Amino acid sequence: MGKVIFWLVVIFAVLFALRLWNAAKVRAGRKDAAEPGAPPATAMIECVDCGVFLPRTDAMTTPSGYRCGDPACPNRKRSKA
């Protein structure tokens, strides 16, 4: 009876090791394959009037800095934490 239990433990250990190895291989494959449809990361900037953060591509450049372009922007209070 002891030999049967020993072989069952060995078989389960080998199966468990194979499962871990396969999971690691799948994880590495996912890391290598980047999402082709994902947009590239853009820099976030802060509006000089209201303090809202927005992507640099959406901001308007002015001599005093970047602005968000929202018509209500000058009416909002800039909160400093």
Mark whether 28 and 48 lie in a shared domain. Answer: no
Q: What is d(CA 27, CA 43) in angstroms, rounded to the nearest whole number? A: 29
**Cut 0.75: pTM above it:** no
Identify the sign of the CA torsion 69, 70, 75, 78: negative
Structural domain span for residue 52: 44-75
Per-residue pLDDT tens over the stretch 24-60: 888 877 766 655 666 677 889 888 888 888 888 888 8
Asked whether residue 80 is assigned to any structural domain, the reply reads: no
Residue pointed to by tokens 């900037």 = 45
pLDDT top residue among 80 and 70: 70
pLDDT top residue among 77 and 11: 11
Asked whether residue 66 is assigned to any structural domain, the reply reads: yes
